[in-house]
């Protein structure tokens, strides 16, 4: 599936992509934002993230403690 990324750009920052973070960090931030925007409702957060609730629960279980 084409993601609309400019793979010709040698540096994503130079391409105007903004902050570049590891995929795991981006996922952690997306989960935190979804939970915050849903008031901690995991079922709704999973819907917002377009993942199964069981997947969200597994990701939360495996997440390192802050």
Residue range 13-65, pLDDT digits in tens: 454 567 899 999 999 999 999 999 999 999 999 999 999 999 999 999 998 77
Which pLDDT does position 10 carry in this prediction?
A: 54
E strand or H helix at 12: none
Which pLDDT does position 26 carry in this prediction?
A: 96
pTM over 0.75, yes/no:
no
Distance CA 21, CA 24 (A): 8
Nearest-CA neighbor of 30 among 8, 3, 65, 63?
63
Q: Six-digit token pair at 27?
A: 């996922």
């Amino acid at each position: 599936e084409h993601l609309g990324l400019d793979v010709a750009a040698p540096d994503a920052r130079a391409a105007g992509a903004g902050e570049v973070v590891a995929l795991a960090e981006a996922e952690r931030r997306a989960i935190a934002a979804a939970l915050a925007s849903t008031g901690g409702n995991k079922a709704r957060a999973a819907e917002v993230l377009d993942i199964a609730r069981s997947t969200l629960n597994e990701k939360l279980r495996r997440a390192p403690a802050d």
